[in-house]
Structure 1
Amino acid sequence: MDQTVKKTIDRDGLQDRFAGFVATLGRGPGRSRALTREEAREAFGMALRGDADPAQVGAFLMLLRYRGEDLAEITGLIEAARDEAGLGRAGVAAGFPVVDLDWPSYGAGRTRGAPWFLLSALALAQSGMRVLMHGSNEFSGGLSVDSVLPSLGLAACRDAGCVAGCLQRDRFAYWPVAAMAPRVGDFLAMRRLFGLRSPVNTVARLLDPADAAASVDGVFHPPYIALHLGVAALLERPALLVLKGGGGEAERSPGKDIAVHLQFAGAPPRELLLPALQPTGPRGDPSADSAATMLRVWHDRDEADPLLSTARNTVVGTIAMALLATAQPDRAPDPEHADQTARAIWHRRATQPASSAG
């Protein structure tokens, strides 16, 4: 058989197969249903490999969104994405040192400012914790992590070898999703075509590329908290802390009490109330949300500067939140002790820029 004809027949067969998944989701009231975990894994794997027509992929993603994100479906999508990108201990991460904290950053809020949580992650890395941050802030109204890193003497990693080296040397690495899982990044970018986020946003946040010992995760809408915790349970993730963070980032607002949800493998989630770290008041000068001001906060030892107090409290509070995620599961979480330890970690940080990554 002519190879061109064979490829056409094979492609048509794959597209027919994928059409079945679209039909399952979209048949109409009383006839449609969610995909099983196995069906979702197969369907999204096909989409990621290019076995489905782009129009089919668009219909698939929007039907998933319209129906509402389902635990089994999202779990299957995540497994497919990890399979295709070779993530996890069985894939490219097999050569990584043990990662203590997975930190997704996919915030897309129009009101986001500077990624203060980045300073929290760097301070934790200096304290001895290995932190792998991954993400895309393409649709955020604020500064992207990628754009701030050079001011801190760092750079985003473009391949797994760079990630392994940075984790070994600096105990911190930032891996953009476009380099970590390019097809997932392409599907995230389809937001421009849809005018809406798709379930791929949830998938990206929960990829956990290095099978870390713990994760912190921010969501924009509270209903997603239960979804993220439920998926983590199905994937048997060791520990996950989720909160409604500004712009959907894992960042603690210091001016109010905030609830976080902490779940360890095999145990039900716990809700913890973290106290405000400063009186509620105006956020301050928006010009503070710049790379230059982030660098100033990192270097500045003048705790009395009121312009930077909210930023410092954001950073310290976020360190404490991450410490709760990495606590021992057999010990009762202690927010007050976490806040105290976070302040000590922040005060002990070395303020010189880290070595540069590539």
Structure 2
Amino acid sequence: MTFSHHLQTSRPEHPFAETIRILGKGKKGSRSLTQDEAYRAMKMILAEEVLPEQLGAFLMLMRVKEETPDELAGFVLAARESCSLADDSMLVDLDWATYAGKRRHLPWFLLSALLLSGNGIAVFMHGSPGPSASRLYTHNMLTYLGLEVATSAEQAKRQLSGQQFSYLSLEKICPKLHEIIELRPILGLRSPVHTLVKLLNPFNAPYSIQGIFHPSYRSVHQQAAALVQQPHAAALKGEGGETERNPDMQCLVQSVHNGELIDETWPALFTHRHVRPENLEPGQLALVWQGKSQDEFAEASVLGTAAVALKLLGKADSQEQAQSVAMDFWLKRDKMRFG
């Protein structure tokens, strides 16, 4: 075969190869993607214009270096274009991502969300059941509170209009992103999709709250929220990685309000550490809500998490006022229709 003949028959380079080369060209030759490059890469992935080998390489190269705020913003903007559920009417006040699952404690944050929704704040949760049999995922916990998981965007909209609360699985919002998340047991590691889904905000709510596990991601979420022009958002290191304030520890909340980045430390609510329960009994969620079971850690988790959300939502001017409003909601919860 002549050299000229070889040139004529060699395969042209795939358009996505350049993205992989940018990320993987050695210690000196590689760099992070710009926001626009990240946007175009995620658009190609969601349009299924990349090969499986390329997707795997991309996900793991991103995992090794970790996402920059610009990359995360680009991914989120692309995903929002493909996965938006928003229409002309604003159905959601607060977008609440729930993907981590709980392992050490019950998901008390669910009661926080119900406190808000029972007081006129429309809360939309989205998440995924997850691969771990040892974790309790929101998808499977709502039934213990007498709440039905939505099975379609239309049902979610009806629930939001009727009860100011709905949970819809990522699989029903954006099947491709769900498919990528499901690769975790195969790849052995989380991927940038686990990060971007927390900022997805399918209904384009003006307020968004996310829990993270690794503290370094907190500021990445904060800066990315500003880059995608999310009006109001907050990120905190939540118990187990969910959006739940651990009352035994001080909590740094990093938020954005109309482009302004704000860091705020909330104090621990106890001077002592609580012993984690030996067994997690989901039925306790309803019992605590109904006042049939007393649990100071659970109650403090619920009120502390609700207080952070209330401050974000502008329903309180100070931490003390937010805590007071949360307590008022809690004492009046017997009039709500949940549980």
Tell me the TM-score normalised to structure 2 length.
0.90
Instruction: Summarize the alignment of residues 1-358 of structure 1 with structure 2, pairs less than 5 Å apart.
Output: 16-85=14-83, 87=84, 92-94=85-87, 97-108=90-101, 111-140=103-132, 141-269=134-262, 271-287=263-279, 289-300=280-291, 305=294, 308-327=295-314, 333-350=317-334, 354=338
Distance in 1, matches of 2:278 and 2:209, equals 26
Counterpart in 2 of 1:6?
none
Structure 2 vs 1, CA of residues 341 and 45 (structure 1 numbering), >3 Å: closer, same or farther?
Answer: same
SS at match of 1:69: coil
Q: Deviations over 1:337-357 (max 9, x none)?
A: 1111100011111466549xx
Distance in 2, matches of 1:127 and 1:260, equals 23
Amino acid aligned to 1:347: L
Structure 2 vs 1, CA of residues 153 and 95 (structure 1 numbering), >3 Å: closer, same or farther?
Answer: farther
Distance in 2, matches of 1:108 and 1:31, equals 38
- In the alignment, is the contact (CA less than 8 A) between 2:38 and 2:74 conserved in 1? yes
- In the alignment, is the contact (CA less than 8 A) between 1:97 and 1:167 conserved in 2? no
Structure 2 vs 1, CA of residues 182 and 350 (structure 1 numbering), >3 Å: closer, same or farther?
Answer: farther
Gaps of 5+ in 1: 1-11
- In the alignment, is the contact (CA less than 8 A) between 1:108 and 1:139 conserved in 2? no
- How far has the Cα of 1:40 moved from its partner? 1.5
Q: Deviations over 1:234-287 (max 9, x none)?
A: 011111111111111110111232222222022122x22222223323335333
**How many percent of aligned residue pairs carry the same amino acid?**
35
Q: Deviations over 1:108-161 (max 9, x none)?
A: 56x343211011101110011000111124145331111111122212112211
- In the alignment, is the contact (CA less than 8 A) between 2:16 and 2:41 conserved in 1? yes
Distance in 2, matches of 1:100 and 1:353, equals 20
SS at match of 2:30: coil
Tell me the TM-score normalised to structure 1 length.
0.86
Structure 1 segments (4+ residues) deviating >6 Å:
none
- In the alignment, is the contact (CA less than 8 A) between 1:96 and 1:167 conserved in 2? no
Amino acid aligned to 2:111: L
Aligned Cα RMSD in Å? 2.1
Structure 2 vs 1, CA of residues 278 and 29 (structure 1 numbering), >3 Å: closer, same or farther?
Answer: closer
Structure 2 vs 1, CA of residues 350 and 180 (structure 1 numbering), >3 Å: closer, same or farther?
Answer: farther
Amino acid aligned to 2:330: W
Distance in 2, matches of 1:112 and 1:50, equals 38
Distance in 2, matches of 1:29 and 1:255, equals 41
SS at match of 2:197: helix
